[in-house]
Amino acid sequence: MLPYACGTVSAPWLPFGERMDIYVSDNNLRRAIEDEGACKRQYGADMTKKLMLRLAALRAAESLADFWPPKSGPERCHELKGDREGTFSVDLKQPYRLLFKPGAATPRLGGSDEQERWKAITSIDILTIEDTHG
């Protein structure tokens, strides 16, 4: 699985490893993210615009703590609950969400300080785009 620097919406002046590293394991989703035309065909122009904005924000972040507190800002980043605990969500075009998990290299922190846990997340693995409430 190769890191993805968000294609045309990345901040090319940010060296790999100094900001959030983004991995996309699903080949179809990776293709859509890397090719804006393919993304528009698969998800439509509005969804593509939101997706590219969210990927740029994630890539520019030093850690997930840049989106603290949960459910704030236009991204409304938050961890899902129940059987999806450990998966995070950011808003795209209603009702769709971009779902991701912390990267494999993320250290496991004990204790109850959620903000510290978010600070430790400096890489993510994008899982899917879906309606989590449908």
Sorted by where each begins, the domain ranges of the chain are 3-130
Among 104, 76, 99, which Cα is nearest to 89's?
Answer: 99
Lowest mean pLDDT among 14-23, 26-35, 50-59, 64-73: 14-23
**Residue 134, Cβ density class (10 Å: 0-12 exposed, 13-18 middle, ≥19 buried):** exposed
The distance from CA 21 to its chain's CA centroid, rounded to whole angstroms, is 10
**Residue 54, Cβ density class (10 Å: 0-12 exposed, 13-18 middle, ≥19 buried):** buried
Question: Where does 3-130 sit in CATH, by number?
Answer: 3.30.2310.20
Tens-place pLDDT, residues 71-99 = 998 999 999 999 999 999 999 999 999 99
More confident residue, 10 or 28: 28
Tens-place pLDDT, residues 104-121 = 877 776 667 889 999 999
